[in-house]
Structure 1
């Protein structure tokens, strides 16, 4: 058994959920604000792309280091120290205007995220038993998705009414909130709290985890490109207004909220690898179906359906990683898994730009959905051949939004 918490601490779960909502909102508030700053300053797509890369790349590249750090250092110390540094960096960003400086500071924020994200993920399994992890994961995932819904709209309103300084200062304040969460949470990890933090761990040593990571990363690589394609598909091909575009963009996250809550009610033994592959395929079916619509309004129910499968997928992958990996290695496991998914999403975004210049948007959306379905189906024989009694017989990525929180 990979869970070591004997007493459930649901108060800590809700604190971590609040911390995730605050940090996600703060991260996206800063990212959206800075993208608007670069655009309004006359800088082109290269600068905006550099901003997105700077926010994502540290999570993927630093995983081997941050994973070990999370498993060895005291979790409270990490949250407080890193949160303090992020608050200072974001306060400096409020006064930065040169694109190179902005991108460099965003990269520093990404380095902090590479530490806090696996720290929070590894804490949750210690707060509840195996039976409570799906519910706890659903609560934390839902909180993060609430932050995702709020941040872009808040950034647009604040930048339009007060300029970029106020939202960036609010983002800095969100990191101070994360510090407070770190101080209030009673559950702790680190050398004093977790046995054998130096125990060797490699994700590839567990075939089920390897297959799951490859499957999810493959789908993310293809479907994350939708973030680039859909603005042209919705606005140009379907002729939708900016208002409709905003509703379509929000609908996937709404579905994720529903999916996280619904799948959080399932028993751990029902959250298995076949279910993961099924959810991956269904999310891509929604994308493929969306490529055939003649009106943008039809995308809203399809994107909600895709978001529901995505939210369920987040819960499933969290439970599978936590149940198959020793508690002492949870930090490294979540960091490695997240790095693979984030790296794949980043690759998809980089490839999407040239493709969008060369092909019709409807064809690109259809191709992304079909490629995701094929990737999920290709992994099914590997799961079926897993020998009985393999670890984890009991069962977090965001397919379309990979700037993690």
Structure 2
């Protein structure tokens, strides 16, 4: 990997941290508000599924383009233009009531996210020296998680008190934080700023990097995507499970959803300490898949609860596993992907995982027309656990092959920092979003 050789620019790190926290809060506020609005208006599972698909499709379809944009176009230009466009779309969303137009506008909003996500993910390592990456990554990850924690809870309160318009206007204002960060951050990528050739952790030169040429990373991406696709129906089903099966208010829905994100925040810091002990990339990838299994197990357990409040501790444990999985995935990407193509790598990863999640969204919407929410929650958990068991086999083979070819050295650092903290760019979209 390539990092800055100058002193770390902590002012830039704090600007990105603030922008990510504010925009993340706005994102989750809007997503929860729109989901509650559709459910309260009597829309079925297909409408909620369509909303989630619209928010995901651009991340998948545009990944080859947006990843290259993040590496080749000035990061300031991308952040400013995308932020302004997203703010305008949110204002339009706040003034529309039809579900069809709402879904179209959500899709356009996701186009901006498809651009800004790899840009922000790739900027953090360019701001700091290797010794400071752990702290900088921890700050950004925590800000994003805190924003995601506050968004659903705030949505439950605002929708219940003021309706949908105010939360969407708040989301529009949150995108201006991205515009401000783009203008104020001194660190820039893309444009004419081209680092020289850098080798990945697997020994592949940046110009030749392809996901398919890294068997371990390919197996990891397929594994994560497969599990997310299997369990992803829960993201459509949960609003009906909490609101209709468990007869809870919009405020309770927001608080229960926030419990998963609270667990992610704690899990990111707890499992970060374990990274230093996992010196082999294969062990790191295996641990990430095992933690996804923990997420799926908590989904299965949640199907048995008689009250929404009992979901809170279960969702916190699931979030702990989710946070740890994100940490391990971030460190694995940092070890194996060179800086010049980091934007493309993040976009490929996110596109694969979000594409798999679309399968879960579609399945959830269709199955809700046939079955009640409780058995679907149980089915999602079982499907996720089955996917973990199946996909662990090729991952283990890839790890064993790499271990035979490239023995680990006792002196090899565990990551960019000796005690790696939560990473900056990847977040697996499993239950609780």
Check whether TM > 0.5: yes
- Contact 1:259 / 1:307 at 8 angstroms: preserved in 2? yes
Structure 2 Cα separation of the partners of residues 348 and 254 of structure 1? 23
Distance 1:371 1:55 in 2: 27
Matches within 5 A, 1:2-401: 2-6=1-5, 7-39=7-39, 43-195=43-195, 199-231=207-239, 239=246, 241-242=248-249, 246-265=254-273, 270=278, 272-291=284-303, 298-356=310-368, 357-358=370-371, 360-361=375-376, 363-378=378-393, 379-387=395-403, 388-389=405-406, 394=414, 396-401=426-431
Deviation at 1:102, TM superposition (A): 2.2
Q: Please say which of residues 325-334 and 125-134 is displaced more in the overlay.
A: 125-134
Structure 2 distance, partners of 1:254, 1:316, is: 18
- Deviations along 1:265-302, one digit per CA (max 9) or x if unpaired, are 55567372232233223333333444456665554333
1:27–1:275 Cα change, 3 Å: same
User: Per the alignment, do residues 279 and 40 of structure 1 end up closer, same or farther by CA in structure 2, a change over 3 Å counting?
Assistant: closer
Which has the larger displacement, 310-319 or 72-81?
A: 310-319
After superposition, the C-alpha distances for 1:227-260 in whole angstroms (9 at most, x for unaligned) are: 23445655677x5644665544322211101011
Query: Does the 8 A contact of 1:133 with 1:319 survive in 2?
Result: no
**Shift of the alpha carbon at 1:393?**
7.8
Whole-angstrom distance in 2 between the partners of 1:65 and 1:201 = 16
Output the CA distance in 1 between the equivalents of 2:30 and 2:296: 30
Which range moved further: 208-217 or 292-301? Answer: 292-301
Q: Structure 1 residues 363, 283: closer, same or farther in 2, change over 3 A?
A: closer
**Structure 1 runs not aligned, ≥5 long:** none
Deviation by residue 1:156-181 (Cα, 9 ceiling, x = unmatched): 33333333332222211111111111
**Given that residues 39 and 240 in structure 2 are in contact (C-alpha distance below 8 angstroms), is that contact kept between their aligned partners in structure 1?**
no
SS in 1 for 2:402: coil
Q: How has the CA–CA distance of structure 1 residues 370 and 232 changed in structure 2, closer, same or farther, with 3 Å as cutoff?
A: farther
Cα distance, 1:209 vs. partner? 1.2
Instruction: Determine the C-alpha separation between the residues in 1 that align with 2:41 and 2:296.
Output: 37
TM score, norm. by length of structure 2: 0.82
Q: Tell me if the contact between 1:135 and 1:265 (Cα under 8 Å) persists in the aligned partners.
A: no
Q: Does the aligned pair in 2 maintain the 1:211–1:383 contact within 8 Å?
A: no
- Structure 2 distance, partners of 1:350, 1:385, is 36
Decide which moves more: 335-344 or 146-155: 146-155
Whole-angstrom distance in 2 between the partners of 1:144 and 1:364: 30
- 2:200 corresponds in structure 1 to none
Deviations 1:24-53 (A, max 9, x none): 122222233333444555654433332221
Please give the TM-score of this superposition, normalised by the length of structure 1.
Answer: 0.87
**8 A Cα contact 1:291 1:365, kept in partner:** no
In structure 1, the partner of 2:420 is: none
RMSD: 3.0
- Residues 153 and 254 in structure 2, CA contact (< 8 A), matched pair in contact too: no
Q: Supply the distance in 1 between the matched residues of 2:387 and 2:243 (Cα, whole angstroms).
A: 24
What does residue 421 of structure 2 align with?
Answer: none
Whole-Å Cα distance in 1 between the matches of residues 225 and 97 of structure 2? Answer: 35
The 1-side partners of 2:169 and 2:253 are apart by 28
Contact 1:225 1:368 in 2 (8 A): no
Q: Distance in 2 between matches of 1:235 and 1:164?
A: 17
